[in-house]
Amino acid sequence: MKYVLVVGAGLGGATAARILAEANYRVFIVEKLGYVGGHSHDEVNEDGILVHTYGPHIFHTKSKDLFDFLSRFTQWHYYQHRVLSYVDGMYVPFPINRDTIAQIFGIELESEMVEGFLKKEVANSTFSNPPLNFEDAVVSQIGRRLYEKFYMNYTRKQWNMEPSKLSAEVAKRIPVRFNRDGRYFSDQYQGLPLYGYTKMIERMLDHPKISVITNCDYFELRSELKPVSTFYTGRLDDFFDRMYGELEYRSLRLEFKTYQKEFFQSAGVINYPNDYDWTRITEFKYMTGQRSDLTTVCYEYPLDKGEPYYIVMDEKNMQRRALYVNEAEKLENTGEFLFIGRLAEYRYYNMDEVVGRAIEKTEEWLRRHL
Ligand code: FAD
Ligand code: UDP
């Protein structure tokens, strides 16, 4: 039988599988865990609250096409994510905006004056221009005072490295706003699948040409399989038996706690840059819109080792990545393998970027093979 093998039933694998099946390919997905969804997996906990197994997940994209594609498999709970940061004993809006500055410095500025205010903060700071690293990138936007309050210690805690060793790329994830827009993301399409990510992904995989085999590790059977092609979404270094050494990840210990009250905190996520050992606390009911007399929250404690949550964007790992990507591209050129997603491309992708990559790479493969 001719079939395509997809390794991993996260968003990347599910997207690729669906597109292949709709192009009339027989698809087998092997997933080493006992469930589908990968890092966007969610489930109802024993207290009846829908929680995200691997930490808070909010879907956001600028692309209508991508949103329309996923909307075939789910309705949405429309939600605009808001984050507060606990700084100087106050809960203030983050990313930094006009209201943050008002609360931190006790000055009321019109929106038109905020840019000038930040320019002065920057002018009073030293940094490399153009920015060479995360610290420079942030200080060049908001100055050192705000950097030290909001970014410096959070970044040390999260990455266990000096912000001057982290790539400037990471800073691009967080905007700075001159107005009063208190949302975390500015994308036009934002929300959560109404019945959860797992349900959405199960529907993506619900197709007569797709078979999902859970609890099945690709590496235990790869020599026995003869697919026309393998679409791989697991770790890039694992695929090549770590021939160039390990691509490192930061991990998290997630502590879930249920409280006998309707709400625990005043926003979906509260960041703690300077206090406590956790980086942030998530309260899922804000995001999912679920109603209950109980509430579940999740504390995130950064870890050096464990489940691969975050790629490490420092020089050593980026150089090593380039070696692996070179090997992966050689295989991709044969058409017998594709590497898709956050783990397989070793990129700090959001969910929409993973879906986008899966669509792009699978459609390109189909153009070559139909
Ligand atoms: P994964 O979801 O990791 O799927 C890969 C799958 O492959 C896994 O199921 C794995 O078990 C399986 N696999 C691996 N190796 C093998 C093997 N050998 N055999 C069989 N199966 C294998 N994105 C957003 O857009 N918004 C957010 O708010 C957001 N929050 C996040 C918060 C945290 C704490 C983290 C860690 C990530 C967050 N993300 C967020 C990113 C999001 O989780 C990822 O972009 C997305 O889930 C990656 O999908 P993927 O399919 O590439 O990989
Ligand atoms: N960051 C920070 N302070 C914050 C939030 C984020 O310094 O209050 C930095 C930190 O280095 C973090 C990065 O910005 O790792 C990206 O933040 P984001 O919220 O996008 O992280 P994720 O949701 O992927 O964990």
Q: pLDDT at position 38, please?
A: 98
* Residue 142: how many other CB atoms lie within 10 Å: 23
The tokens 């050992």 sit on which residue?
A: 277
Partnered with residue 281 across adjacent β-strands are 270, 299
Q: For residue 360, how far is its CA from the centre of ligand 1 (angstroms)?
A: 18
* 97, 112, 139, 143, 144 from 124: Cα distances, Å: 19, 20, 10, 7, 8
Q: Where are the beta strands (DSSP E) in 62-142?
A: 76-77, 83-87, 90-94
CA distance 216 to 177: 46
Strand order in the sheet with 229-232: 210-213, 27-30, 4-7, 229-232, 337-339
Q: For residue 179, how far is its CA from the centre of ligand 1 (angstroms)?
A: 33
CA distance 67 to 118: 35
Q: For residue 9, how far is its CA from the centre of ligand 2 (angstroms)?
A: 26
Quote the distance between the C-alpha of residue 169 and its chain's center: 14
CA distance 248 to 311: 6
Q: What is the pLDDT along the chain (370 residues), one digit of tens a residue?
A: 799 999 999 999 999 999 999 999 999 999 999 999 999 999 999 999 999 999 999 999 999 999 999 999 999 999 999 999 999 999 999 999 999 999 999 999 998 999 999 999 999 999 999 999 999 999 999 999 999 999 999 999 999 999 999 999 999 999 999 999 999 999 999 999 999 999 999 999 999 999 999 999 999 999 999 999 999 999 999 999 999 999 999 999 999 999 999 999 999 999 999 999 999 999 999 999 999 999 999 999 999 999 999 999 999 999 999 999 999 999 999 999 999 999 999 999 999 999 999 999 999 999 998 6
Task: Output Rg (C-alpha) for the chain, integer angstroms.
Answer: 22
CA distance 92 to 87: 7
The tokens 């020599």 sit on which residue?
A: 223
Kindly report the length of the chain.
370
Phi/psi at 353 (5° precision): -70, -35
Best CA proximity match to 355, nearest among 60, 79, 75, 78:
60
Strand, helix or coil for residue 102: helix
Q: For residue 185, how far is its CA from the centre of ligand 1 (angstroms)?
A: 20
Q: For residue 17, how far is its CA from the centre of ligand 1 (angstroms)?
A: 16
| Pocket of ligand 1 from Cβ distances under 6 Å | 7-13, 30-33, 38-40, 54-59, 217-219, 233-234, 309, 341-343, 349-352, 354
Substitution site in 155, 275, 300 for ligand 2 pocket (most atoms within 8 Å of beta carbon): 155
CATH of 4-36+205-247+312-369, one of 3.30.1360.10, 1.10.579.10, 3.40.50.720, 3.40.640.10: 3.40.50.720
Atom of ligand 2 nearest to the CA of 94: 8
Torsion angle, alpha carbons of 259, 265, 269, 274, to 10:
-110
Domain residue extents for the chain:
4-36+205-247+312-369, 42-82+183-195+249-311, 96-171
Q: How far apart are the first and last CA of the chain?
A: 17
- Helical axes 98-105 vs 111-123, angle rounded to 10°: 60
Kindly identify the ligand whose nearest atom is closest to the C-alpha of 93: 2
* Residue 370: how many other CB atoms lie within 10 Å: 8
Report pTM. 0.97
Q: pLDDT at position 111, please?
A: 87
CA distance 342 to 57: 14
